[in-house]
Amino acid sequence: MPDQLQPLSHNKVFDGWHHQFQHHSQVLGCNMRFAIFLPPQAQNQSVPLLFWLSGLTCTDENFMQKAGAFETAAKLGIAIVAPDTSPRGANVADDDAYDLGQGAGFYLNATQAPWAAHYRMYDYIVEELPNLLSQHFPLNGKFAISGHSMGGHGALMIGLKNPDRFTSISAFAPIVNPSQVPWGQKALSHYLGDNEQDWLAYDSCALLANSHQHLPILIDQGSADPFYSEQLQPEKLISIAEQMSYPIRFRMQPDFDHSYYFIQSFIAEHLHFHHAYLCQ
């Protein structure tokens, strides 16, 4: 059955539990894996959930093993889910490059062959996975979203497109304007085709410029990030936010790079940021 979960691992951590599951995704047409942390409060009550979207080459394991988020999440009573970054499998289209294909789904719905057969990560994150989680875990229906790099793009884009589904958005070193940077242009042209107007449906700068409902947003960027100038360019989003009077909290963090050392350093602050809105 598509709504069945196959347990892969479970570990007690800070009196909560980290679980890893596999399930068959009808949306993606393949088996998918995700990890979920349930805080100790989930043993007695329903809890809010933070979606964490990871970056290029990552799986569900990167954040859960490297971010150091569990102690704060346990204290605040926040569950965290980390899905995979793309469909997977021998029959799923792929590419030899790290920034296209498996591990590089860009959280969109592909329209071009051969990608359209499986690469519908937008529908998976927005529809299928939340429904599945709500069936199986004690969640109270309040969701926030966060992510890193390609996942920061996903968090901003999905949050901006679905302001009624999420209480708040945060991102570490996000790709904010994928239609105008090499990583995004490569992915969008392959997944969506050559019509650049189609790309704007998944571009956070374009979405923010046309937004009518404001969600709280926190963005952290490291000044020593090697991808900052060419691929990330957060100033573009901040400039549009200023023009739109959209309140985004943007922090340039001196000397931090693009790694999980950066995420470890500020993940607790992001969890407290989301907690303030998840618990309203």
190 as an active site residue: the answer is no
203 as an active site residue: the answer is no
23 as an active site residue: the answer is no
- State the SS3 of 102-155: CCECCCCECCCCCHHHCCEHHHHHHHHHHHHHHHHCCEEEEEEEEEECHHHHHH
Determine which one of 18, 118, 258, 274 is catalytic. Answer: 258
Q: How many helices (H) and strands (E) does the chain have?
A: 10, 9
Query: Quick one: how far is CA 133 from the chain centroid?
Result: 16
Q: Round to whole Å and give the CA distance between 56 and 102.
A: 9
Q: Round to whole Å and give the CA distance between 258 and 32.
A: 26
Determine which one of 149, 168, 170, 204 is catalytic. Answer: 149
The residue assigned the tokens 């979203």 is: 145
Determine which one of 225, 270, 274, 275 is catalytic. Answer: 225
Query: DSSP readout, 17-75?
Result: EEEEEEEEETTTTEEEEEEEEE-GGGGTS-EEEEEEE--TT--THHHHHHS--HHHHHH
The set of catalytic residues is: 149, 225, 258
